[in-house]
Homo-oligomer: A and B are copies of this chain.
Amino acid sequence: MIVVLKENVEKEKQDQLVDWLKSLGLGVHISAGQFQTVLGLIGDTSSLDMDLVESLDIVDTVKRVTETFKCGNRKFHPEDTVVSVGDVKIGGGNFCMIAGPCSVESEEQIISIARDVKAAGANVLRGGAFKPRTSPYDFQGLGHDGLEILKIARQETGLPIISEIMNVFDLPLFEDVDILQVGARNMQNFDLLKELGKTNKPILLKRGLANTLKEFLMSAEYIMAQGNENVILCERGIRTYSDYLRNTLDLSAVPMLHELSHLPVIVDPSHATGIARMVPPMAKAATACGADGLIIEVHNDPPHALCDGAQSLRPEDYAKLVTKINAIREAIK
């Protein structure tokens, strides 16, 4: 960490600060410039409160020079992480196509959609059983029954399944689910992240509604610091002042996350836009900028979907999209 002092600081105050920093076990390298003195702190500064140091009278600015995230940092782990789910691999050049309805509604529905998306080229089946809804009066998902139905669809099609977990309590119910999803609203539910870090399940971690990339990577760090390195990052749109679209899909996060971290990065164009006809162009764009996969909502009867029908593709449209996605993947090789 580098601490830049204000101009013309009294020698005595500077010495007090240096002494205090040394009392915290840090080495201090003093570099007196023409106008300003810079202190270089040596040692483990990760627990030092940057804001506090910056608030001191004699301090101008503080700059952390070592990254605060470690497990997910590409600097310390240059090779791409590849997350495996049965035969499916995600990351490191392996593209993952997750598809399915927002909510599991019935056995017929989910099996029908599962067969359709598999035929179209999907390799993982999504389906929500526990649904986080802004309003307590909206449909909250089938819960345990939804998970059971999802497993039947897996048996019928061979597709591994992914579903959202909202609560540490529900962990036993998810024992036989292949990938556990953490939703945007829970990205900083740290107790949930810690518990998921104690499992060896692949975790799909969605970026929070208004979180920075650093916060996103710190949340991944909560999982990884507990020993579970199977984390998949998912960009799903951020909150801005957008007028015609629900959120703003931040696709530049994809190459930037790839630069910062070795974890796979996938994109959810369905939640990002909230409008089915915007999903294909944004899915193509995500592929073109290097995403490791896509998670897309597909429903056989959008007007009667119990949730998020407006953003669901019909199976036939999904199939057409997959063809284009494959062509783009070929084009950018």
Contacts and interface: CB of A to CB of B under 8 A. Distances in A.
Interface of A: 2, 4, 20, 27, 29, 31, 33-36, 38, 40, 42, 46-47, 49, 51-52, 54-56, 60-61, 63, 65-66, 68-69, 132-139, 166-169, 185-186, 188-191, 194, 208-215, 218, 221-222, 225, 238-246, 248-252, 254-256, 259-260, 272-278, 281-282, 284-290, 302-303, 305, 307-311, 324, 327-328, 330-332
**Stoichiometry (number of copies):** 4
Contacts of A221: 135-136
A282 B276 contact: no
A27 B34 contact: yes
A36 B60 contact: no
A51 B248 CA distance: 17
Given A49-B307, A63-B2, A274-B51, A132 B190 contact: yes
A284 to B, nearest CB: 4
B188 A134 contact: yes
Contacts of A209: 208, 210-211
Contacts of A276: 55
Contact of A252 (B245, B255, B290): B245
A31 B38 contact: yes
Contacts of A188: 132, 134, 185-186
22 contacts: A2-B2, A29-B31, A46-B137, A47-B139, A52-B302, A52-B303, A55-B275, A55-B311, A69-B135, A132-B188, A134-B218, A137-B225, A185-B189, A186-B189, A189-B189, A209-B210, A212-B242, A212-B244, A244-B260, A248-B250, A284-B288, A284-B332
Dominant SS at the A interface? mixed
A136 B188 CA distance: 11
Report, nearest first, the 9 A-B pairs whose CB atoms are least far apart: A210-B210, A288-B288, A327-B331, A51-B310, A285-B289, A185-B188, A285-B285, A55-B310, A281-B289
Given A38-B38, A52-B310, 19 more contacts: A29-B34, A31-B38, A46-B137, A49-B308, A52-B303, A55-B277, A63-B63, A134-B218, A136-B190, A136-B194, A240-B241, A242-B250, A242-B252, A249-B252, A252-B272, A284-B289, A285-B286, A324-B331, A330-B331
A25 to B, nearest CB: 14
Given A4-B65, A308-B51, A240 B240 contact: yes
Contacts of A4: 2, 63, 65
Contacts of A29: 31, 33-34
A74 B246 CA distance: 21
A42 B54 CA distance: 22
Contact of A256 (B35, B238, B244): B244
Chain B CB count within 10 A is highest, among A35, A209, A254, A330, for: A209
B281 A255 contact: yes
B38 A2 contact: yes
